[in-house]
């Protein structure tokens, strides 16, 4: 009879500590040295077990701070017209937004195609980081069709853009094309999210249009992989 690898047995023992509440959500795990001593194992085996739990979304690693138990996942319904702030607050969590930059620029080919614009057309680019219960969980870059949003630079970007669209420009985004792709975080996203290169993540893109078919927004989001549960509701009529 074959036996499970040692690191999987250790993974199960660590998971039991999480499920029983000895290691509660949001808490920091003991140092690797202490864990290795407690379970009478090597640091190599321990890191394999920790890596397995990370891939399952049970724990996460914070640069220079150690390992933490992942909180409950946020339920994310991409087809709903809820801003990040609204759906996070509705689930009893605390949102925060950090603006990294805003500028007007000429649309490169990829952005122009997504916004149904000619290459070189004026667009706004907004970059933000989002926090959930004071944990950095996503970085997003939003390109906006500048023709429909004159003077947008005057408004605050640490709150809901959709609220600005509706209250200031009388724009309602009703059609959305959304893609969700598992990925490994690299490059600029790693630096923005302050994680290790190659760690798992989710890449979400959103193209948003008005009822008249005018494309207003192209959004690219990079999420940490243990943050979200994707939920979709459909209705069937026969």
Domain containing residue 48: CATH number: 1.10.10.10
Is residue 58 in some structural domain? yes
Last residue of a domain, one of 51, 69, 87: 69
Same-domain status, 49 and 110 = no
**Residue among 140, 165, 139 at smallest CA distance from 152:** 165
User: What was the pLDDT predicted at 235?
Assistant: 59
Q: How confident is the model at residue 234 (pLDDT cuts 50, 70, 90)?
A: low
3-state DSSP of the chain: CCCCCHHHHHHHHHHHHHHCCCCCCCCECCCHHHHHHHCCCCHHHHHHHHHHHHHCCCEEEECCCEEEECCCCEEECCCCCCCHHHHHHHCCCCEEEEEEEEEEEECCHHHHHHCCCCCCCEEEEEEEEEEECCEEEEEEEEEEEHHHCCCHHHCCCCCCHHHHHHHHHCCCCCEEEEEEEEEECCHHHHHHHCCCCCCEEEEEEEEEECCCCCEEEEEEEEEECCCEEECCCCCCCC
Q: Which domain holds residue 63?
A: 6-69
Which residue reads 């890191």 in tokens?
Answer: 47
Same-domain status, 45 and 109 = no
% of residues, the chain, pLDDT over 90: 76
Same-domain status, 154 and 210 = yes
Here the tokens at position 204 are 């979400």
Same-domain status, 41 and 88 = no
What CA–CA distance (Å, rounded) separates 101 from 181? 25
Which range, of 78-82, 132-136, 147-151, averages the lowest pLDDT? 78-82
Do residues 147 and 217 lie in contact, with contact meaning Cβ atoms separated by under 8 Å?
A: no
Here the tokens at position 199 are 């760690």
Is residue 120 in some structural domain? yes
Find all residues with CB under 8 Å of 156, minimum gap 6, and list them.
Answer: none
Is residue 203 in some structural domain? yes
User: What was the pLDDT predicted at 61?
Assistant: 86
Is residue 21 in some structural domain? yes
Q: Given a cut of 90, is residue 23 above it in pLDDT?
A: yes
Same-domain status, 123 and 192 = yes
Same-domain status, 100 and 181 = yes
Same-domain status, 47 and 156 = no
Number of domain units in the chain: 2
Is residue 238 in some structural domain? no
First to last CA, the chain: 52
Is residue 237 in some structural domain? no
Same-domain status, 63 and 78 = no
Same-domain status, 208 and 129 = yes
Q: What is the pTM of this model?
A: 0.86
Is residue 12 in some structural domain? yes
What CA–CA distance (Å, rounded) separates 64 from 44? 19
Same-domain status, 64 and 150 = no
Q: Given a cut of 80, is residue 63 above it in pLDDT?
A: no
Same-domain status, 124 and 60 = no
Q: How confident is the model at residue 64 (pLDDT cuts 50, 70, 90)?
A: confident
Is residue 236 in some structural domain? no
Q: What is the CATH number of the domain that holds 87?
A: 3.40.1410.10
Q: Given a cut of 90, is residue 168 above it in pLDDT?
A: yes
What CA–CA distance (Å, rounded) separates 169 from 149? 7
Same-domain status, 109 and 127 = yes
Q: How confident is the model at residue 238 (pLDDT cuts 50, 70, 90)?
A: very low
Q: Given a cut of 90, is residue 85 above it in pLDDT?
A: no
């Amino acid at each position: 009879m074959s036996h499970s690898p040692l690191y999987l047995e250790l993974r199960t023992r660590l998971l039991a500590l999480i499920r029983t509440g000895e290691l509660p959500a949001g808490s920091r795990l003991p140092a690797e040295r202490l864990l290795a001593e407690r379970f009478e194992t090597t640091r190599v085996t321990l890191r394999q077990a920790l890596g397995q739990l990370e891939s399952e979304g049970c724990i996460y690693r914070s640069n220079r701070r150690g390992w933490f138990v992942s909180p409950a996942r946020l339920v994310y319904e991409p087809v709903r017209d809820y801003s990040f702030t609204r759906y996070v607050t509705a689930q009893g969590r605390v949102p925060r937004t950090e603006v990294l930059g805003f500028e007007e620029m000429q649309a490169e080919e990829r952005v122009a195609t997504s916004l149904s614009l000619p290459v070189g057309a004026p667009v706004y680019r907004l970059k933000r980081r989002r926090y959930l219960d004071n944990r950095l969980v996503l970085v997003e870059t939003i390109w906006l069709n500048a023709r429909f949003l004159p003077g947008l630079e005057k408004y605050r970007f640490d709150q809901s853009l959709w609220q600005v669209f509706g209250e200031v420009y009388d724009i309602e985004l009703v059609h959305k094309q959304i893609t969700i792709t598992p990925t490994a975080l690299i490059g600029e996203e790693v630096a923005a999210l302050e994680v290790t290169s190659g760690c798992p993540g989710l890449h979400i893109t959103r193209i948003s249009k008005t009822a008249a078919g005018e494309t207003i927004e192209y959004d690219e989001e990079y999420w940490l992989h243990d943050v979200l549960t994707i939920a979709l509701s459909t209705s069937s009529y026969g």
